[in-house]
Structure 1
Amino acid sequence: MAIFSIIFPLIFMVSLGYLLTRLTFFNKEQISGISKFTFYVSIPAFLFINMLAAPLSQSFDVKSLLVFYLPVLAVYTLGYRFNRQFAQTHLKSRDASAVFALGSSYSNTVLVGLPIIMAAIGEAMIGQVFMIITFHSALLFAITFILAARAGEQGFSWGTFTRNMVLNPVVLSISLGMIANAVGLSLFAALEGGLILLAKPALACALFVLGANLSFYKISQDWPLALCASFLKIILLPACVFITGKWLLVLPAQTLTMLVLLSASPLGVNAYLIATELKQHESTLGTTVVLSTILSVLSFSIWLALLT
């Protein structure tokens, strides 16, 4: 019953977004507007307010970062080698393999991971969650772009990449919240009240938008590769995080729960956008977004039963 009470509200919001869009109650342009509000206004307000209040001394933990990122890098490498070995000839290039590796290891931390963690263990670990999120995109996107640049004629610009990452609304809002926290900034009551009001719909809107966007993706003929990427992402990766945190680096139970749930999140939509930018595995990653999101319900249920 406890697991059902955690999972059901999240499934409800995702399903509502999917159904209302499929029934054309909302069209693509309207969902785009809701998405823009969610990712550029509400979620940044939510992240800033919570990072401002987070206990910084407990948020940066090297062992937690290692327990999360060592398995992520291992699964990324495995995904890269898998694609080089088993994909069709026209998809075996280094840049295509880098994109497949990204699709096997990049988690939807904000739209899915954060709501699941908040529902399962509350706000106790939110500072550490934000630390993971801050480095997550930067690390995996940098590796993917570097490998793709090596494979082709295009160059990789650290300046452009750094600027895009720093100005990312998620990274920027967490960073500003961290700085404000570190210097002891105290917001005046009216501004704090406004930001809290903006932050309230963040998680619900994020789940609704996720469901709406799923209605725009189709299951392609590349579903076998997408199924393999989904297995690596929502089965192998959290298992590796669990093993690393349980027996190798030995983390507290609540911290381990947070990291496993974060790693068990389905593939993030941003990985699909990278695939379209590099023109490699677009249909594979689009299908992986759908499959991993659907299958993550089972994965989350299993991990919640084991860890909570």
Structure 2
Amino acid sequence: MQGFTYILSLTSPIFLLIGLGFLVVRLGYLSRDAIRTFAWFVINFGLPAAMFKALSSRSFQDILHFDYLLIFGLGSLLSFAVLFVIARLRNKSLTECAMFGLGGSLSNSLMIGFPIIMQLFGEAALVPFALTLIVENFFILPLALALADTGQQRNEGFLRSLGAALPQLLKNPVVMSIGVGLVSALTGLQPPAFVNKAIDMLAVTVGGLALFTIGGMLVGLKPRGMLTDISVIVLGKLILHPLCIVLMILLMPPMPALFQSVALVLACMPMFSIYAVFGMRYGMDELCSAVLLPATLLAFVSINLMIWILDVGSAVG
């Protein structure tokens, strides 16, 4: 059994990079605008390259695991529903309930999750990682946005709102890269060698830059006021979401141990970094921004604790 010190040796460099990004921006060496440029590069070039590389190099049968889609999808939906109901019981509007649910069910898989699972599990984890992105981008996010829009009486009801959200998500470079990677795996078609080399070079830039960028984006966030709302969303994301995934793993037919571990570690991540951007769209930018800082800081505990539990479980097994 690996000790907790060893686990910290794996995860501490990750949070050290987040801290470095925070300090560099906090001390004025880089502006927040520069950090946004880094984030744009990671999301639009680095991660799509890594996704395509991971998927196109495997057979289609190795990629499409419906058991993972079902377990992670239902677990995330359950976490969304519980946060939604809690917000409803506290007399929140439909839009506010949708944003509560979104904060408690959609992980920062891209900017924090990707470097961590690569550090822990290597390239074998990229298949369940890609499946996680499918759940998040084609299921949870459209559902939340459709409910939030319906609450503000946009479009003409839930189904119309859902239909309007999907085409926008299909334009996301990460989503597009997953689609192209799946087609490549299915057909066996590969880009020329020099293009593959360029993709490889882009893919290796992602990990450190993503973590550094997250740190810089935390500068200026002030989690003051709204203590109850912040606590509900943070606890929902870091505790309830992993527990819901555990429940689905126990209830559903077994899937590979690696896939279980990736699902649980990703569920322990804080909410995605542009949560505040969606909050701004619905007039909830103060709350959604305030949630990010404590969630990211406390994720150090939730992630390390989950890795320790998985390590103990594997040793016992």
What count of residue pairs does the alignment treat as equivalent? 303
Contact kept, 8 Å, 1:3 with 1:304, in 2: the verdict is yes
Q: Does 1:302 align with 2:305?
A: yes
Equivalent residue letter for 2:151: A
1:133 alignment partner in structure 2: 133
Task: Identify which of 262, 284, 289 aligns with 1:286.
Answer: 289
Contact kept, 8 Å, 2:22 with 2:218, in 1: the verdict is yes
RMSD: 1.7
2:258 alignment partner in structure 1: 254
2:314 alignment partner in structure 1: none
1:73 alignment partner in structure 2: 77
Q: Does 1:105 align with 2:109?
A: no
2:315 alignment partner in structure 1: none
1:143 alignment partner in structure 2: 143
Matches within 5 A, 1:23-172: 23-86=27-90, 92-155=92-155, 156-158=160-162, 160-172=164-176
Deviations 1:219-254 (A, max 9, x none): 131133112211111111112212321454333322
2:225 is paired with a residue whose SS is coil
Contact kept, 8 Å, 1:244 with 1:250, in 2: the verdict is no
Q: Any unmatched runs of 5+ in structure 1?
A: none
1:128 is paired with a residue whose SS is helix
Percentage of matched positions with identical amino acids:
23
Contact kept, 8 Å, 1:220 with 1:284, in 2: the verdict is no
Contact kept, 8 Å, 2:75 with 2:247, in 1: the verdict is no
**TM-score if structure 1 supplies the norm length?**
0.93
Deviation at 1:31, TM superposition (A): 1.4
CA distance in 2, matches of 1:56, 1:139: 21
Deviations 1:110-168 (A, max 9, x none): 11122221111111131121022023123222222222233232114455422211110
Equivalent residue letter for 1:228: V
CA distance in 1, matches of 2:164, 2:82: 28
Q: Any unmatched runs of 5+ in structure 2?
A: 312-317
**TM-score if structure 2 supplies the norm length?**
0.90
CA distance in 2, matches of 1:158, 1:263: 24
Residues 192 and 248 of structure 1: CA distance in aligned 2, closer, same or farther (over 3 Å): closer
2:24 alignment partner in structure 1: 20
